[in-house]
Chain A
């Protein structure tokens, strides 16, 4: 039921007496250690810094509150939190050290990698030992703060993930402190910690960070106006009004707290007042009446309690050893289910703990007996929480790892109780004060609950437990509780562990308790008898008439005086009821009198004659109601006053008695006797009714508990129903996804080109894709037939046999198999078919046509072989110029192996002077241009110089974008050497030819001289030989194959040139290269023309001028070369009289060799000659100026 279970460590000190409990609970005993001012512990994790800043920005520096910040910190990180916060508050900010005093208006910050406690207002810093402790530094500090400061403690939970701090604020609230957590909608908040704290129900206010300081200021103000010293005085004030408060609660919520311990209630009411900032009790009662939710809030306040798994472990061990083991063993034999009642289960931890212990024991004993744990509590919210069975990570400290693993399921940051344990527990809302109990229980656990009850309520509850337990059933209390004043009902088994055994005695079932309705006089105590009273009673006892104290139900509560004579117990169950215990003659009228007295509240009396020990005794029976109400009960005192012996029979008295009167007398006596008999019968019937009533009552009780159980079951069923709904929804969504998968599969089968064949373990066809038909002769409808019945197109090892092997060995097989005729190749893969249950259920054969791939592979290998065998270096590079492939030719040329060069930059292959140009080349490549004829002179690995000609071309991918470049480097060292040799050779040849020509000239010259030939002849011969030599020399200078027309003209005219007599006009943009023959022929012709000009023409006289104009033109699709020879200013010209050798050279040889058109006009002004010839391919070529011929240096 209502489990205001006090916080852990304290309760070992709590004795269940009124005197000690409140002092401890209120922390008054620790008054000295109090610093007297408020101390606020502020816990935060992720996002804490922002929240701290906001908090202190709004916090006035003179509230008198000491602040202690506990922030989760990285152990390695040097935190500057204190320094940062100093900028946001004018209060001094310290990094807490061991011994720092939490003084008012200061801020202390937890140092990294440590945990903080507070003791006597002094901070204690210890090193963090475990990871678990690191996650609970806030809890650790707040708990110690609660213990140390009680009502002066303030717990604030700011931003952070996880659940640290939840237990801490619970502790603070439990001890009367004030708690705040950050609001959900606060933009600073990481909600884990604040939400967890608020969800625990221990948070007084949920505020935004900016609003917290105002709340604290208000609190501090209230504290100041209500100093601790005055609280004791305030208490009676509250105490006096407690009846009113309880009455309001009862009328609003139907909950009766009238018999709870006063001090506890007072403390909790005061706390509510603190939260509401109300100083006056009367004012609070007004609020309680006026606000619709305040009774509920106060009720929650009364119920605050925390519990833990395996709280007081030693007691649990003892329980296991002495009770659980025996119970399980006994019930395993009998097979009767074990019934346990956890009264006041709060959030279910204890019930689950017991369930775990029973479960473990049953496992150990290999027992199949079932145990049902009825767990009840007055608080519906707690029960809902317990039913969910979801707990935070904080339970890790209470539950062993082994148990966590076995009995809990991790659900994110929470642990969910496993189904096995959950199913053992039945949770229901139940008020121990007014609801009927469970019955036939083997164990009742009611821990840390009675400490909140008054003595009478305690006794009644213990009696209820006596009723509920089976004979020898076990009652288990908390560490500070005992069966005080009920020793008759229970005997101690283990005092230390608070285990008691039910004694098989008549119970004290206090039926009225079941119907009791509290009244406003709740606080009334049974009249206490002091010493003097007791003495008076002792003295008066013999003198007073016998009397008994009974209640409205005729139960006897007290005997007094010489009562024994009037008693005559009925055989059967011993009862303290006047209907069972009084003398037979007294029963009817006694019962009537008592009822009358109580109903009318007036004294009632009657006269009765009874026969005791043969003599008749006249009695005055007087029933007087007791004016005071005891509890809810009304009492009456029944007094037996003797009036002496009754008169003798009237017959003996009257001598002359009137016969009539005698008759009447007799009749009266007979009637009286008859009445007596009837009365007795009535009394008996009454008794029977009473006992039936009692039976009904107990049946009713059973029924009640059955109904509770049914309700619980109903809820269970509902939740099962919900689960089924969920499962159903899941199943239908799964069915849907299955359908989708199926249709996907069908589509895949239809569209795939991979021939796939599913065979079962007998090699029957289960399923296949249409393409399988190309290989096996299978058609639709051939499912379920043996694959061996079908012909297969593939050669080599039969697939079917391989499939059998795979089925046997379970090792997948992969083969490449040619089709018949070898025009197709298939990649056949045979793997075992694993059903989802991992059972092997056949094989899957996939056949992929890889003919194309094969062909490509062959082509590739072919190309690779070409590249590899090439003597040229063939390599590739990416766009950044990094080498990506390197063939053997490259290795041969450069000396570096593939391994040495892959990944190296291309620049490694370039000559120094080319490296600067490389980015330009790279850019060209990226733009898609090739680089050809890049001649590189390079030092190889073995320090030889090679000349290579490099050609680099871009490589494009399929999309046409450039992805790299291929480079082919040809070793041209030999070519270079050959060229050099050739150059030497040509030079030598030239030299020899010139020498020979020189010799020829000398021989001819000497010969002519010897014959006295004229000088002119000699000069002609020499000039012609020189012309030949010059033409030859020009050709040789350009490689021996061709010579420049321009140079030829200039060279041949050079000997005749004086200052400005020769003007050469040429086509500046073009250069005509003539082959050596043409060059020689034209050279000789030009020499003749020049010689003639010098002898007879323009060059023979001063002032004469020669102009040579040559040009190249395209005429009739031929390249025509035209040379005009124009002489002017010379002596008059005459047409030569005869055609000499010179003319032959000019006209014949040109026409003959060059197919030229030669026109010579001997004009008066001077000779004009036009030479025009088509530049046929065998004569020469035209090239742009500057495009050098292959000149040999």
Chain B
């Protein structure tokens, strides 16, 4: 299994920690995690990563524009959100989503799928 660099944007520290440990348990490298929109924006330009797990509503605002710029670059994204369809743009609605609260099993399943998509993209 390939080790991936995964960007984690989550403003809830405990959840961020949970995701980080889960990713490490699964043998992936976490980029971040960051919980603030500005930090996230800065991180995108500074760091290398293969895919991203994004909380929709983070400190400092909405990740919509950030997510869309990542999509433009072709970065696979997994959205984690406590909202239903609420406040998502058309494009983001198409993305795979983790509904909070998710079980670690659900998290692992979705991360696995995310990594599959990443590899599929790399293969292209």
**A residues neighboring B (CB under 8 Å):** 987, 990-995, 997-1003, 1005-1006, 1009, 1018-1019, 1022-1023, 1025-1026, 1029, 1033, 1037
Residues from chain A with Cβ under 8 Å of B21 in the complex: 1006, 1009
- In the complex, the answer to whether A1019 meets B14 with C-beta atoms within 8 Å is no
A sample of 16 inter-chain contacts (CB < 8 A) reads A994-B82, A994-B99, A994-B101, A997-B100, A998-B12, A998-B100, A1001-B102, A1002-B14, A1005-B18, A1006-B17, A1009-B21, A1023-B103, A1025-B101, A1025-B103, A1029-B101, A1033-B84
- In the complex, the answer to whether A1019 meets B103 with C-beta atoms within 8 Å is yes
- In the complex, the answer to whether A1001 meets B103 with C-beta atoms within 8 Å is yes
- In the complex, the answer to whether A1018 meets B101 with C-beta atoms within 8 Å is no
- In the complex, the answer to whether A1026 meets B103 with C-beta atoms within 8 Å is yes
- In the complex, the answer to whether A1026 meets B15 with C-beta atoms within 8 Å is no
- Report how far A1029 CA is from B57 CA in the complex, Å: 19
| New A-B contacts (15) at CB < 8 Å, excluding given A1002-B18, A1025-B103 | A987-B84, A987-B86, A990-B84, A995-B82, A998-B12, A999-B14, A1005-B18, A1005-B104, A1006-B17, A1019-B103, A1019-B105, A1022-B104, A1026-B102, A1029-B100, A1033-B84
- Report how far A1033 CA is from B82 CA in the complex, Å: 9
Residues from chain B with Cβ under 8 Å of A1025 in the complex: 101, 103
Residues from chain B with Cβ under 8 Å of A1001 in the complex: 101-103
Say whether, besides A1003-B14, A1006-B14, A1006-B21, A998 and B101 are in contact (CB < 8 Å). yes
Residues from chain B with Cβ under 8 Å of A1023 in the complex: 103
- Report how far A235 CA is from B100 CA in the complex, Å: 143
Contact with A along B8-36 (1 / 0, CB 8 A): 00001011011001000000000000000
Within 8 A of A (CB), among B100-124: 100-106
User: Interface majority SS on A: helix, strand, loop or mixed?
Assistant: helix
Residues from chain B with Cβ under 8 Å of A1006 in the complex: 14, 17-18, 21
Q: Which of B100, B103, B104 contacts A995, CB < 8 Å?
A: B100
When C-beta atoms are compared, the residue in chain A nearest to B57 turns out to be: A991
Residues from chain A with Cβ under 8 Å of B81 in the complex: 991
- Report how far A1069 CA is from B102 CA in the complex, Å: 33
Residues from chain A with Cβ under 8 Å of B82 in the complex: 990-995, 998
User: Interface majority SS on B: helix, strand, loop or mixed?
Assistant: mixed
Residues from chain B with Cβ under 8 Å of A1005 in the complex: 18, 104
- Report how far A451 CA is from B49 CA in the complex, Å: 149
Residues from chain B with Cβ under 8 Å of A1026 in the complex: 101-103, 106
- Report how far A991 CA is from B11 CA in the complex, Å: 14
Residues from chain A with Cβ under 8 Å of B57 in the complex: 991
- Report how far A994 CA is from B102 CA in the complex, Å: 9
Residues from chain A with Cβ under 8 Å of B18 in the complex: 1002, 1005-1006
- Report how far A993 CA is from B82 CA in the complex, Å: 8
- Report how far A999 CA is from B105 CA in the complex, Å: 15
Interface size range of chain B in the complex:
20 to 34
- In the complex, the answer to whether A1022 meets B83 with C-beta atoms within 8 Å is no
- Report how far A991 CA is from B57 CA in the complex, Å: 10
Contact with A along B54-77 (1 / 0, CB 8 A): 000100000000000000000000
6 closest Cβ contacts across the A-B interface? A994-B82, A998-B101, A1022-B103, A1002-B18, A997-B101, A991-B82
- In the complex, the answer to whether B83 meets A991 with C-beta atoms within 8 Å is yes
- Report how far A1019 CA is from B107 CA in the complex, Å: 12
Residues from chain A with Cβ under 8 Å of B103 in the complex: 1001, 1019, 1022-1023, 1025-1026
Say whether, besides A991-B57, A1022-B105, A1002 and B17 are in contact (CB < 8 Å). yes
Residues from chain A with Cβ under 8 Å of B101 in the complex: 994-995, 997-1001, 1025-1026, 1029
Say whether, besides A1022-B103, A1022-B105, A1002 and B83 are in contact (CB < 8 Å). no
- Report how far A559 CA is from B103 CA in the complex, Å: 178
When C-beta atoms are compared, the residue in chain B nearest to A1009 turns out to be: B21
The residue in A990, A991, A997, A1023 that gathers the most chain B C-beta atoms within 10 A of its C-beta is A991
Say whether, besides A990-B83, A991-B82, A991-B83, A998 and B102 are in contact (CB < 8 Å). yes
Q: How far is the CB of A989 from chain B (nearest CB, A)?
A: 10
- In the complex, the answer to whether A999 meets B15 with C-beta atoms within 8 Å is yes
Residues from chain B with Cβ under 8 Å of A995 in the complex: 12, 15, 82, 100-101
Residues from chain A with Cβ under 8 Å of B104 in the complex: 1005, 1018, 1022
Q: How far is the CB of A1005 from chain B (nearest CB, A)?
A: 6
Residues from chain B with Cβ under 8 Å of A1037 in the complex: 84
Say whether, besides A1019-B105, A1022-B105, A1002 and B15 are in contact (CB < 8 Å). yes
Residues from chain B with Cβ under 8 Å of A1033 in the complex: 84, 99
Q: How far is the CB of B25 from chain A (nearest CB, A)?
A: 9
Q: How far is the CB of A726 from chain B (nearest CB, A)?
A: 104
Q: How far is the CB of B10 from chain A (nearest CB, A)?
A: 10
When C-beta atoms are compared, the residue in chain B nearest to A1024 turns out to be: B103
- Report how far A992 CA is from B57 CA in the complex, Å: 11
Q: How far is the CB of B11 from chain A (nearest CB, A)?
A: 10
Q: How far is the CB of B97 from chain A (nearest CB, A)?
A: 12
- Report how far A472 CA is from B15 CA in the complex, Å: 154
The residue in B14, B21, B84, B103 that gathers the most chain A C-beta atoms within 10 A of its C-beta is B103
Residues from chain B with Cβ under 8 Å of A994 in the complex: 82, 99-101
Q: How far is the CB of A291 from chain B (nearest CB, A)?
A: 120
When C-beta atoms are compared, the residue in chain A nearest to B56 turns out to be: A991
Residues from chain A with Cβ under 8 Å of B14 in the complex: 999, 1002-1003, 1006
The residue in B17, B18, B82, B86 that gathers the most chain A C-beta atoms within 10 A of its C-beta is B82
- Report how far A995 CA is from B99 CA in the complex, Å: 10
Residues from chain B with Cβ under 8 Å of A1022 in the complex: 103-105
Q: How far is the CB of B17 from chain A (nearest CB, A)?
A: 7
When C-beta atoms are compared, the residue in chain B nearest to A991 turns out to be: B82
Q: How far is the CB of A1013 from chain B (nearest CB, A)?
A: 12
Residues from chain A with Cβ under 8 Å of B106 in the complex: 1026
Contact with A along B26-50 (1 / 0, CB 8 A): 0000000000000000000000000
- Report how far A998 CA is from B57 CA in the complex, Å: 14
Q: How far is the CB of B98 from chain A (nearest CB, A)?
A: 9
Residues from chain A with Cβ under 8 Å of B83 in the complex: 987, 990-991
Q: How far is the CB of B117 from chain A (nearest CB, A)?
A: 22
Q: How far is the CB of B23 from chain A (nearest CB, A)?
A: 14
Residues from chain B with Cβ under 8 Å of A1003 in the complex: 14
- Report how far A1167 CA is from B101 CA in the complex, Å: 30
When C-beta atoms are compared, the residue in chain B nearest to A990 turns out to be: B82
- Report how far A434 CA is from B17 CA in the complex, Å: 159
- Report how far A1164 CA is from B106 CA in the complex, Å: 33
Residues from chain A with Cβ under 8 Å of B86 in the complex: 987, 991
Residues from chain B with Cβ under 8 Å of A990 in the complex: 82-84
